Amino acid sequence: MAQHHRLQAWDWESPMSFQYQYQYQHLYQGEQGEACKELMFEKPLTPSDVGKLNRLVIPKQHAERYFPLDGVSGEKGLLLSLEDDSGKIWQFRYSYWTSSQSYVLTKGWSRFVKEKRLDAGDVVLFERRRVDGDRLYIGCRHRGDPAATNTAAGPWNTPYYASSVSVQHQYSSLHAEEQRDETGVHKSETVAPSNSKRLRLFGVNLDYWPEPEPEPVQASTSWLI
Amino acid sequence: MAQHHRLQAWDWESPMSFQYQYQYQHLYQGEQGEACKELMFEKPLTPSDVGKLNRLVIPKQHAERYFPLDGVSGEKGLLLSLEDDSGKIWQFRYSYWTSSQSYVLTKGWSRFVKEKRLDAGDVVLFERRRVDGDRLYIGCRHRGDPAATNTAAGPWNTPYYASSVSVQHQYSSLHAEEQRDETGVHKSETVAPSNSKRLRLFGVNLDYWPEPEPEPVQASTSWLI
DNA sequence: CACTGAACCTGCTGG
DNA sequence: TCCAGCAGGTTCAGT
């Protein structure tokens, strides 16, 4: 099965197999309950969405329904973590631009466009998936494709590190590696949720850190789902 | 002589002739000992350096050698005072941008560009001058000019106020004027260096106030040299 | 005092 | 990795 294939790839890439088995288990449960996938909205991409502006405009009606910023606005927005078909975690800065009166994904979006090879007319879609908690999902469908498939290179093509989105307050293995590299001492303790805040988003109560990690491709969960 | 010419202009502009004579004396000493001029670095200006970004990027190797921010970083940078050929004091905010990993002069820089009529390809240069203490100097050379000359209008064309860079903890006469305007009471006392910090910069130990004065063209010495 | 534009500040991307 | 360039928001001075 494809799932086993991915699991093997992860095992091969990282020594922290526990997390990945844990994550795999959740994916498996998710596939058992297909009814738990709820499409929130889709957007056909405009030329600007895939161009040099490096931002995705979220249509206002969808943004205000699924991504309300009322409780957190006035600041620089927040960091959103979403998972794609392959289990990869994508982090985007999500904020409101008063100048254009629009909700946008900025930081991290251009990487998504590039890796998924998105073009104008392709469709990006956002789902909420109930597994044993709620999880956010981002996918895309290329122009002309019949189904919403994720055509991105999987972990067997593009090595990457995924954080656990199920284990709360657990830094990813990559992050632990970085800490060890910097200090020369491996810090294996889980980090206390000292700075976490609580926000209702997607109709779900969520914990997050306002500005947790600068590097979006690599792991470390800011949104605990 | 040109020096006398400048001195007369200062005398004409300000009643505090003592300070200007004092400064003049130092310039005179400086010209006697030309070996005391030490070029720290030059930078050919990019279009962005003279454009709407209102900032000068200091190449990292020069910044970290001559402008280390180790002791003061993590904040909003500091205010740098430099003198040009005419004796005018220029104040710039100097800070580190983590987002672009670069050192920059921001506030005050656009005024310098405008007054010196700088363009892309022109060169800005930073010198340290030993007179009877160390003094920082900023100059520029226009594209194609043979020597590093300061082609800006002198004080006889553009009235300005210069602070004493030689008398420690002495506010300028202009600053005293401002205080009188605000409070209605003339405060002639010298200000105690209560918030001053000590930092080694340009290989020299210097006192400064982290955020002393918002107005850069006008006087008030933040760097006491 | 409200409006406006310039300057300033911060963050991000790509080469 | 550095840094040129771009973009948006905030502050401030002038009207």
Residue-wise pLDDT tens digits, B175-212: 222 333 333 333 332 233 334 343 444 444 343 444 44
Nucleotide nearest to A75 (CA to C1'): D9
Tell me the CA–C1' distance in angstroms for A157 and D4. 32
Residue B106: predicted pLDDT: 94
Per residue, the 3-state secondary structure of A102-132, as one string, reads EEEECCCHHHHHHHHCCCCCCEEEEEEEECC
Q: Domain with A26 in it: what CATH number?
A: 2.40.330.10
**Each residue of B117-129: pLDDT tens digit?**
999 999 999 999 8
Least confident of B6-15, B52-61, B62-71: B6-15
Q: In whole angstroms, what is the distance from residue A198 CA to residue A220 CA? A: 18
Sign of CA dihedral B92, B95, B101, B103: positive
Task: Kindly state whether residue B129 falls inside one of the protein's structural domains.
Answer: yes
Residue B219 lies in a domain: no
- Please list, in sequence order, all residues whose beta carbon lies within 8 angstroms of the beta carbon of residue A99, skipping any fewer than 6 positions away: none
Tell me whether residue B111 is in a domain. yes
In a domain, B158, yes or no: yes
State which residues form the domain around B11.
2-208
Residue B213 lies in a domain: no
What does the pLDDT read at residue A125?
94
User: What does the pLDDT read at residue A15?
Assistant: 27
In Å, what is the CA distance from A194 to each residue of A63, A170, A218, B27? 28, 13, 22, 57
Per-residue pLDDT of chain A (225 residues; tens, 9 = 90+): 333 222 222 222 222 222 222 232 333 344 444 557 899 999 999 988 999 889 999 998 899 889 888 766 455 788 899 999 999 999 998 988 888 888 999 999 999 999 999 999 999 999 998 876 788 999 999 988 776 555 443 332 322 222 322 222 222 222 222 333 333 323 322 223 334 444 444 443 343 444 333 333 332 223 322
CB within 8 A of A59, min separation 6: which ones?
A41, A43
What pLDDT is recorded for position A78?
84
CA–C1' nearest nucleotide, residue B49: D4
Cβ of A101 < 7 Å from strand D? no
Average pLDDT, stretch B1-15?
25
Task: For residues B190 and B172, give the distance between their C-alpha atoms in angstroms, rounded to a whole number.
Answer: 10
The integer distance in angstroms from the CA atom of B56 to the C1' atom of D9 is 21
Tally the residues of chain A. Answer: 225
| Cα separation values, B65 from A36, A107, B40, B68, B95, Å | 58, 32, 9, 6, 14
If one counts every other C-beta atom within 10 angstroms of the C-beta of residue B195, the result is 11
Give the side-chain half-sphere CA count within 13 A for B100. Answer: 12
- Residue % of chain B over a pLDDT of 90: 36
Residue B68 lies in a domain: yes
Q: How far is the CA of B6 from the C1' of C15 (A)?
A: 47
Å between A52 CA and C15 C1'? 14
Q: List, in sequence order, the alpha helices (H) in B83-217.
A: 109-116, 173-183
Percentage of residues of chain B with pLDDT beyond 70: 47
Cα B66 from Cα A149, distance rounded (Å): 55
Strand D bases with any atom < 7 A from protein Cβ: 1-10, 12-13
Gap from B177 CA to D13 C1', Å:
20
Strand D interface, A 36-95, C-beta < 7 A: 52-53, 74
Q: Is strand D in 7 Å reach of the CB of B47?
A: yes
The number of folded domains in chain A is 1
- More confident of the two residues B140 and B189: B140
A76 contact to strand C (CB, 7 A limit):
yes
> What's the pLDDT tens digit per position in B9-44?
222 222 222 222 223 233 334 444 455 889 999 999
B61 touches strand D (CB under 7 A): yes
Beta strands in B23-158 (DSSP E): 37-44, 56-58, 78-83, 89-97, 102-105, 123-130, 134-141
Q: Are B169 and B192 in contact (CB under 8 A)?
A: yes
* A143 sits within 7 Å of strand C by its CB: no
CA–C1' distance A154–C14 (Å)?
A: 25
